[in-house]
A and B are shown apart, each in its own frame.
Chain A
Amino acid sequence: MNTYTVALAGNPNTGKSTLFNSLTGMRQHTGNWAGKTVLTAEGDCVRGGTRFRLVDLPGTYSLYSNSADEEAARDYIIFENPDCAIVVLDATSLERNLNLALQVLEMTSRVVVCINLIDEAEKLGIRIDLQTFRQRLGVPVVAISARHNRGVDALMELVEQVASGQLAPHPTVLTYGDEIEHKIGELEPLVRSALGTRYPTRWVALRLLDGDEGLLASLKKRLHDRAMPQSGKEGEIRYERTACH
């Protein structure tokens, strides 16, 4: 049986954990109070001959390393390299929630955007044009109601397609202002020559411009750990998997 790792990312209070629970059947606490020790809950879910190992990342508003929660979520996506990441959005406040989705899309292309609480949005008269979302984001977008188990099958189908590589999304590259773009352009080749393409170079460049030294420390540690055992291969870092296609 194929097993895929799937990360669940999303803002707090988006029903992310509700989805996680309904998929894995695991009973667990779903509140979100910052300061709680960062725990990433894991659970298995078998659908149509495929096993998904679901990882419930801490609910965060962004993936800059502001807090232990954000760092944990970010590190998981970047370093653990899940086969697919589901970004759960609250349909009733998409504008705010979308920020996180855009940040995840900068890190990996294997993403399915999942608009949850669609029933509440409908009640409030919010009409969401999924097709436009798909075009603008460049990744699969699906609307669900985790509470009522609506759309979850369609979601998992897409997740399987993305995880297996059957579907290779091409996220729209988010462009910044000229000045930042210019700086990214200057830095990205340097990132590539220092790190190769194991990590999304544009994203790393952006994080470095932002002064994210914590990320560099993590990168350093991982490079060092990996470089040591294979020290026989001079002048080459072996890339096991690429995060960015």
Chain B
Amino acid sequence: MSAPHATNTPDPLDSLLAQAQRLASGTTVRDRIVGDIYRSSRAICKAAVRYEDKRKLASTHKLDRILTSKLWGFPIMLAVLGVIFWITIAGANVPSSLLADFFGVIESYLTAGFEAVHAPAWLHGVLVLGFFRGTGWVISVMLPPMAIFFPVFALLENFGYLPRVAFNMDRLFKKSGGHGKQALTMSMGFGCNAAAILSTRIIESPRERMLAILTNNFVPCNGRWPTLILLSSLFMAAGVASGLQTLATALVVMGFVLFGIVVTLTVSWLLSKTALRGVPTHYTLELPPYRRPQIWKTILLSSRDKSWNVLKRAVIVAAPAGILTWILGNIYISGDSVLQHMAAIFEPFAHAIGLDGYIIMAFLLGLPANEIVLPILLMGYMASGAMVDADGLGNIKELFLDHGWTWLTALNMMLFSLLHYPCGTTLFNIYKETKSAKWTFLSAVIPLAIAIGVTFITAQAARALGWV
């Protein structure tokens, strides 16, 4: 006879669990347990540890008392963010136009060279107007802001500020049902969403990790900073006195970042109330001591690892895209170029959300990397008949205005860029990390739906109110 007890063993455990659940219901047992343990630790340390010289320990604590205080934590965070943007925008302007001028001069030499050897017009078009101009644009628009933004951000990171950001944001994320460490992965997303997806491994609970993965896209990565920064400076700060334009641009970019964070929190909250229900888990966040960063090493390393890699990727993807765009823009079928035909297909939809067909196409072609959306758009515009001699930053605005841009187009392009689906690399990483086609699909569709929804609302509202 087999023993009934052996097979029945699990049953008392089930009733035990039921009993425990009944006892625990309605109370925040974990908070109290953790609280009591901390209290004991504190009591023991108070009795057994003596500090001879508090000042030796104080510097980190003193700084933390300010940087993570309830009153000053957020204003300081915003100020730091604002200053970084301001430095980036103010510093990038001049080198950007210098680089653009430089590439313009090279381009004219190249053109002269092609003419001198009587090269066919299509070859000149593909290589110079497509390939060279495309890559030249990417470099002059993206390199200067990156060369400033990444080192500054890296300095802040090495100083030890990011864990403090996570500490400050923890409450907000917990309220929205996520994990405090989501603040860290989100900060990582400011650099690169694809890398940030990998960094969500620091979040232990699968539910909260999924929240962090699904919402990471809502903070602009380095591929999108140039779009935001360029469009803000061209369109958003136009009405401001010239001395304050940089500041106004920085404020607009910061506004977008904050909006992205609000969307992150809102989506986290909604998901944690619906598809990813659950209670946030506890964790201990270690605030490491502040360290004086090794300034030159940080700058060199971040330039090498981040700026250079991003630029390389952008150029590698943008170069063929430039050629493709030029070809599409110069093959004519019944009077219009292929590019114009394609843009025309998207036009009605694009118009409804305040964009145009070219922008939609640029976003579609830009799926592999956000870096190339703006270059593709510029190339598309340049290839579409109106050949502007766009060798200065001011001329970009002309180019946009020639294609019927208003402040609404710029605003919605920025909003769409901020909110739309993650880039191909990020999606690939999401698939690798979640091993789920469903969640990968959702991580693209949720942001896309939000992007379309938001831009639709702004477009319709602005038009209904007669603002454009």
Say if the beta carbon of B244 comes within 8 Å of chain A: no
Contact yes or no, A137 B44, CB < 8 A: yes
Interface string of A105-132 (1 = CB under 8 A from B): 0000000000000000000111111101
Contact yes or no, A125 B52, CB < 8 A: yes
Residue of A nearest to B284 (CB): A61
Q: With a CB–CB cut-off of 8 A, which chain A residues contact B29?
A: 180, 183, 209-211
Q: With a CB–CB cut-off of 8 A, which chain B residues contact A129?
A: 47-50
Say if the beta carbon of B389 comes within 8 Å of chain A: no
Question: How far, in whole Å, are A237 and B19 apart by their CA atoms in the complex?
Answer: 22
Say if the beta carbon of A156 comes within 8 Å of chain B: no
Binds B, one of A47-55, A146-154, A161-169, A189-197: A189-197
* From B32, B33, B38, B201, contact of A34 by CB (8 A): B201
Contact yes or no, B204 A177, CB < 8 A: no
Say if the beta carbon of B281 comes within 8 Å of chain A: yes
Q: With a CB–CB cut-off of 8 A, which chain A residues contact B51?
A: 125-127
Q: How far is the CB of A1 from chain B (nearest CB, A)?
A: 37
Say if the beta carbon of A22 comes within 8 Å of chain B: no
Q: How far is the CB of B197 from chain A (nearest CB, A)?
A: 12
Q: How far is the CB of A90 from chain B (nearest CB, A)?
A: 10
Interface centre among A94, A95, A129 (most CB of B within 10 A): A95
Question: How far, in whole Å, are A148 and B17 apart by their CA atoms in the complex?
Answer: 48
Q: With a CB–CB cut-off of 8 A, which chain B residues contact A231?
A: 2-3, 5-6
Question: How far, in whole Å, are A124 and B60 apart by their CA atoms in the complex?
Answer: 13
Contact yes or no, B41 A99, CB < 8 A: yes
Contact yes or no, B21 A211, CB < 8 A: yes
Contact yes or no, B5 A234, CB < 8 A: yes
Contact yes or no, B33 A176, CB < 8 A: yes
Within 8 A of A (CB), among B38-68: 38, 40-42, 44-45, 47-53, 56-57
By secondary structure, the B interface counts as helix
Q: With a CB–CB cut-off of 8 A, which chain B residues contact A126?
A: 49-52, 57
Question: How far, in whole Å, are A124 and B20 apart by their CA atoms in the complex?
Answer: 45
Contact yes or no, B33 A206, CB < 8 A: yes
Q: With a CB–CB cut-off of 8 A, which chain B residues contact A33?
A: 202
Contact yes or no, A99 B38, CB < 8 A: yes
Q: How far is the CB of A50 from chain B (nearest CB, A)?
A: 30
Within 8 A of B (CB), among A93-108: 94-96, 98-99, 102-103
Q: With a CB–CB cut-off of 8 A, which chain A residues contact B281?
A: 66
Question: How far, in whole Å, are A227 and B3 apart by their CA atoms in the complex?
Answer: 10
Say if the beta carbon of B205 comes within 8 Å of chain A: yes
Question: How far, in whole Å, are A70 and B283 apart by their CA atoms in the complex?
Answer: 11
Q: With a CB–CB cut-off of 8 A, which chain B residues contact A209?
A: 20, 23-24, 29, 33
Interface centre among B40, B47, B286 (most CB of A within 10 A): B40
Q: How far is the CB of A226 from chain B (nearest CB, A)?
A: 9
Within 8 A of B (CB), among A59-79: 61-62, 64, 66-70
Contact yes or no, B282 A70, CB < 8 A: no
Question: How far, in whole Å, are A228 and B10 apart by their CA atoms in the complex?
Answer: 12
Contact yes or no, A213 B6, CB < 8 A: no
Contact yes or no, A187 B282, CB < 8 A: no
Contact yes or no, B49 A179, CB < 8 A: no
Q: How far is the CB of B257 from chain A (nearest CB, A)?
A: 26
Say if the beta carbon of A27 comes within 8 Å of chain B: no
Residue of B nearest to A93 (CB): B286
Contact yes or no, A103 B37, CB < 8 A: yes
Contact yes or no, A132 B48, CB < 8 A: yes
Contact yes or no, B6 A98, CB < 8 A: no
Contact yes or no, B20 A187, CB < 8 A: yes
Contact yes or no, B33 A210, CB < 8 A: yes
Q: How far is the CB of A8 from chain B (nearest CB, A)?
A: 19
Contact flag A227-B6 (CB < 8 Å), given A125-B51, A183-B24, A216-B13: yes
Contact flag A194-B16 (CB < 8 Å), given A64-B282, A179-B27, A211-B24: yes
Q: With a CB–CB cut-off of 8 A, which chain A residues contact B6?
A: 227-228, 230-231
Contact yes or no, A136 B44, CB < 8 A: yes
Question: How far, in whole Å, are A32 and B47 apart by their CA atoms in the complex?
Answer: 31
Q: How far is the CB of B425 from chain A (nearest CB, A)?
A: 19
Within 8 A of B (CB), among A173-227: 174-177, 179-180, 183, 186-187, 190-191, 193-195, 205-206, 208-211, 213, 216, 219-220, 223-224, 227
* From B23, B30, B38, B202, contact of A35 by CB (8 A): B202
Within 8 A of A (CB), among B141-159: none
Contact yes or no, B17 A213, CB < 8 A: yes
Contact yes or no, B282 A62, CB < 8 A: yes
Q: With a CB–CB cut-off of 8 A, which chain B residues contact A35?
A: 201-202
Contact yes or no, B17 A235, CB < 8 A: no
Contact yes or no, A233 B49, CB < 8 A: no
Contact yes or no, B49 A102, CB < 8 A: no
Contact flag A191-B201 (CB < 8 Å), given A136-B48, A177-B36, A227-B9: no
Q: How far is the CB of B465 from chain A (nearest CB, A)?
A: 49
Known A11-B286, A98-B45, A136-B47; 8 more pairs at CB < 8 Å: A35-B202, A98-B44, A127-B51, A176-B32, A209-B23, A210-B30, A213-B17, A236-B5
Which 6 pairs of residues, A with B, have the shortest CB-CB distance?
Answer: A35-B201, A67-B204, A125-B52, A208-B20, A61-B284, A132-B48
- Tell me the B residues contacting A by CB distance below 8 Å: 2-6, 9-10, 12-13, 15-17, 19-21, 23-24, 27, 29-30, 32-34, 36-38, 40-42, 44-45, 47-53, 56-57, 201-202, 204-205, 281-284, 286
Q: List 12 A-B contacts (CB under 8 A).
A: A13-B286, A125-B51, A126-B51, A130-B48, A136-B44, A136-B47, A137-B44, A174-B36, A176-B33, A179-B32, A213-B17, A220-B10
